[in-house]
Amino acid sequence: MPRILIIDDEINLRETIAEMLTYLGYDIFLSTDGKDGLEKVKEIQPDLIICDIMMPILDGYGFMELHRTSNYSDIPVLFLSAKVEQKDKEIEISLGVKDYITKPFAFKDLKTIIDLHLK
């Protein structure tokens, strides 16, 4: 069963995504910010990470800066955010983010992207 770590400070969104993905058979782990997310990556070594950009303590950009130089940098990261400007997408690509999901999103689109990066 694939393990997915969801890093997002929005509790309702985080838990909704977790509930839907659990129903589909994924093993889900949750984190509220990038700093805690880095610790969870070491602890559970997920197969995929879904990370928000705008979070307290350590945002998605800071998470990626540290993740891409860690021993777990081979774990793909998908960004989930309402930020849709081209400059944001360019920054994310330069940080090594594998894909970008724009809020709001259709759950089937999220699942398609997840499946693409878990293969």
% of the chain at pLDDT higher than 90: 78
Dihedral sign from CA coordinates of 48, 60, 9, 56? positive
For the residues 26-42, what does the mean pLDDT come to? 97
Which CATH number fits the domain that encloses residue 7?
A: 3.40.50.2300
Domain of residue 85: give its range. Answer: 3-118
Task: Give the residue-averaged pLDDT of 83-105.
Answer: 79
Number of domains making up the chain? 1
The predicted pLDDT at position 85 comes to: 72
pTM, to two decimals: 0.93
